[in-house]
Amino acid sequence: MRALVPLPVLLPLFAVGVKFVLGPRRIRMQTFISLAVLSADTVISTVLLVEADRHGPIVVQVGNFAAPLGISLVVDRFSGLMLAVSSAVTLCVLLYSQSQRSADENEDETGAPLAIFYPTYLVLAAGIADSFLAGDLFNLYVGFEVMLTASYVLMTIGGSDARIRHGAVYIMVGAASSLLFVAAIAVAYAACGTVNLADLAVRLATVAPAARLAVQVLLITVFAVKAAVFPLSAWLPDSYPTAPAPVTAVFAGLLTKVGVYSLIRTQTLLFPHERQAPLLYTVAALSMIIGILGAVAQADLKRLLSFTLVSHVGFLVLGLAIGSVRALSGALFYAITHITVQTTLFLVTGLIERREGTADFGRLAGLARLAPVLGLLFFIPAMNLAGIPPLSGFVAKLALLQAAAADGGVGAYILLGAMLVTSLLTLYAMTKVWARAFWRAPGEGLGKLADRQIILPGSESIAVIRSTVGDARGIGGRRISTSESYPIGMLGATIALILLSLAYTVWAGPIAEYTQRAAAELLDPNAYINAVRAVGGTH
């Protein structure tokens, strides 16, 4: 079983090498390799999830070097869950992007961007898996860097003006937070002489409280930037909407959740007795409220969804802030729901762009009548995001509400109020989109963006004015070719993700029990520490 642990990182990286050897021409072979690797990833991580649930944390010391020197990879219930869900989501988004690529005929002419898109995507998947598996702080940093560097490439792919401009902000924020991460590692190493998480957990308990606080605050800041928690979230709604639809979808679903994962992992494992509750309470409430107010003010669907993303990360931080088994369990359930739902919404936005050429809902109208399929595909995840009863978003939010009420403190009750207001405003934002884009009579919007032709005075030539506001661009940076029919892969991937989110609803009982066990495991770090220490190396 241990042999499986490194595979979610190794397989995609290995596949990237094979892809470069094959060259960009053999598209079918390339497609097959990507799909096969990510499918294998999904199967492997599901097996690991089940094993970790049955027998406790699975630990591998890479290269058989013992813990403080070597690199530990750990699968416990929490990381197993995140790994399984993230591989399923990356697989679906890969399918979607393959289909989008073949639907945009002109995309293949761009050549270079597409030749690097899929390898980079696989590197991103490897980075995400490495971050979830990392058992030491430095390996976590490397995982983050692999993931972020791949994301920088995906963010600026095609090198168009808007992508470069918005990408520069994203990259600089990412690079600055990585520097802070290095600083955190330096401080932790200076204080404890180790970067292995299990060792750190033991040694941090014995160092001076000031040093412990320094490490904790640095780590919170770093992961708050990566997770886009409110005061450090301004970069996200700015940069995400310009990337291609599948890229935005996978970023929105997974990258911020990797930040939240690391935040929860380090706080519960390294600082079990110092929760910094007032700080976390404040940022969680502010993220929720300010994020959703930002969403309500938007006129573009992608920007609106980016702001709801900031807002809903607040729910996950809230679970950590309250810190009971029930709260963490609710946060874990909400994390997997939110990964799936947010990704689906961005994929549906991609489908809307495919049909209408824009995601600006001032221009869209009558989609419920013109494209009932899109209406259904948007409605289910939108209601799930708002937390309407039978859906899994409601189950998770209810768990969080109960945890806040059970905590009973003033802060918890303020958070409870913030949660309710945020859910209500999310519903309002979703209703606004629905009323504008879907429910108006067809033709009431400003309509599709058309190329305006004007004849220049004094010459025969015709100038074509292209509106650049809100026009959708494909993976390679060209304008997408709109059509009334949906490519089968794009539709299939979106439906698969919706079915996944519905499955969370149907099997909410077993999943909630699992997240309860995972949360209990998180709050008892000794299991993790002992599991890592028990596996020695031969060197």
Could you list the residues that contact another protein (CB under 8 A)?
Answer: 68-69, 138, 142, 145, 149, 152-153, 156, 159, 161, 164-169, 171-172, 175-176, 178-179, 182-183, 185-187, 189-190, 195, 234, 237-238, 294, 303
Nearest CB to another protein, comparing residues 199 and 521: 199
The CA–CA distances, whole Å, from 188 to 65, 88, 116, 290, 332 equal: 21, 34, 37, 33, 27
d(CA 214, CA 224): 15
**509, 503 Cβ separation under 8 angstroms:** no
Nearest CB to another protein, comparing residues 294 and 393: 294
At closest approach, how far in Å is the CB of 201 from another protein? 18
At closest approach, how far in Å is the CB of 178 from another protein? 8
Closest among 340, 329, 334, 336 to 515, alpha carbons compared: 329
At CB < 8 A and 24+ separation, what contacts does 409-415 make? 411/277, 411/278, 411/281, 411/321, 412/281, 412/322, 414/281, 414/285, 415/281, 415/284, 415/285, 415/318, 415/321, 415/322
Helix (H) or strand (E) holding 62, with range, is: strand 58-62
Nearest CB to another protein, comparing residues 81 and 114: 114
Nearest CB to another protein, comparing residues 153 and 228: 153
Helix (H) or strand (E) holding 280, with range, is: helix 277-296
At closest approach, how far in Å is the CB of 8 from another protein? 21
Nearest CB to another protein, comparing residues 303 and 326: 303
At closest approach, how far in Å is the CB of 187 from another protein? 8
At closest approach, how far in Å is the CB of 191 from another protein? 8
Joined together, the tokens standing for residue 513 give: 């029990």
Terminal Cα distance for the chain, rounded: 21
The CA–CA distances, whole Å, from 424 to 128, 333, 431 equal: 32, 20, 10
- 3-class SS at 462? strand
Backbone angles phi, psi at 463, to 5 degrees: -95, 135
CB 488: neighbour CB atoms within 10 A?
11
At closest approach, how far in Å is the CB of 103 from another protein? 27
Nearest CB to another protein, comparing residues 51 and 145: 145
Joined together, the tokens standing for residue 103 give: 């639907």
HSE (side-chain half, CA atoms, 13 Å) at 467: 14
Nearest CB to another protein, comparing residues 185 and 269: 185
At closest approach, how far in Å is the CB of 370 from another protein? 30
At closest approach, how far in Å is the CB of 223 from another protein? 18
d(CA 241, CA 234): 13
HSE (side-chain half, CA atoms, 13 Å) at 56: 10
Closest among 152, 157, 96 to 104, alpha carbons compared: 96
Nearest CB to another protein, comparing residues 22 and 176: 176
Nearest CB to another protein, comparing residues 37 and 137: 137
At closest approach, how far in Å is the CB of 263 from another protein? 21
- Give the single-character DSSP code of 361: T
At closest approach, how far in Å is the CB of 102 from another protein? 27
Nearest CB to another protein, comparing residues 150 and 374: 150
